[in-house]
């Protein structure tokens, strides 16, 4: 995986311990870009440290729904076990104490154990998803027509528009991952998309979620390609 000025090709290229940024509803996938507005002092400090270091930060969601065993707004909420490592690839100061940054996804990871560092932010030992480091998703098996049909149905139902020329030019990987990251779905759906084992499964998951949302909110909607 080539991200910014760095290459992450093998497990040894990824730190064994990383700082994590818990954020409900945020989805970062390998190769994708996630813009962030940083304003909490502990996370400002984290970005300062990482800009001077590896530039790598782990995005992860706090545990949600019926499985919550701690307050997500607390200093140390319970976290989902799978997140995505991102590299800081753009950074700007706002003049009022905030940072506007963008993370580019490197690879997914699984949390192993928390590490006490004495910092205000949290750090964890992780196990990276080695398959993500190849930077090449297997695009075979992705039902592009079904994906575009579900996307078109969602746009039509919500009276939204898309740049269809850009959509048609996009690869299956770009299409599936971009749609997953930009989708307006909840934390559980975002986590399911993150944890999908391959691109084909992620596409199928996204289609299924979209069809369920359309049926629930708008009744029977024809998602067949027109």
Domain membership flag for residue 10: yes
Q: In this predicted model, what pLDDT tens digit does every residue of 152-209 receive, in sequence order?
A: 998 888 888 888 899 899 999 999 999 999 999 999 999 999 999 999 999 999 999 9
Evaluate whether 59 touches 47 at the Cβ level (below 8 Å). no
Give the global pTM: 0.89
Question: What CATH number corresponds to the domain at position 26?
Answer: 2.30.130.40
Domain membership flag for residue 104: yes
Evaluate whether 19 touches 122 at the Cβ level (below 8 Å). yes
Domain that holds residue 206: 144-218
Report, as an integer, the average pLDDT of 36-62.
97
Q: In this predicted model, what pLDDT tens digit does every residue of 113-153 receive, in sequence order?
A: 999 999 999 999 999 999 999 877 778 889 999 999 999 99
Domain membership flag for residue 223: no
Q: Counting beta carbons within 10 angstroms of the beta carbon of residue 219, is it exposed (0 to 12), middle (13 to 18) or buried (19 or more)?
A: exposed
As a whole number of angstroms, the distance between CA 140 and CA 183 comes to 23
């Amino acid at each position: 995986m080539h991200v910014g000025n760095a290459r992450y090709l093998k497990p040894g290229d990824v730190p064994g311990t990383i700082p994590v940024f818990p954020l409900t509803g945020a989805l970062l996938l390998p190769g994708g870009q996630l813009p962030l507005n940083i304003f909490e002092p502990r996370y400002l400090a984290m970005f300062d440290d990482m800009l001077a270091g590896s530039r790598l930060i782990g995005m992860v969601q706090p545990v949600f729904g019926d499985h919550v065993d701690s307050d997500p707004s607390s200093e140390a909420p319970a976290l989902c076990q799978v997140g995505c490592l991102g590299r800081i690839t753009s950074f700007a100061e706002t003049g009022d104490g905030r940072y506007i940054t963008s993370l580019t996804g490197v690879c997914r990871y699984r949390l192993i154990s928390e590490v006490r560092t004495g910092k205000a932010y949290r750090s964890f030992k992780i196990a990276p998803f080695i398959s993500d480091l190849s930077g090449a998703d297997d695009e075979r098996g992705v039902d592009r027509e079904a994906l575009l049909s579900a996307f078109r149905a969602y746009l039509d139902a919500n009276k939204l528009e898309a740049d269809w020329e850009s959509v048609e030019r996009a690869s299956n990987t770009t299409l599936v991952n971009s749609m997953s990251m930009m989708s307006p779905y909840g934390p559980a759906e975002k986590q399911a998309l993150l944890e999908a084992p391959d691109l084909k499964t992620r596409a199928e998951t996204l289609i299924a979620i979209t069809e369920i949302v359309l049926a629930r909110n708008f009744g029977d909607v024809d998602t067949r390609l027109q």
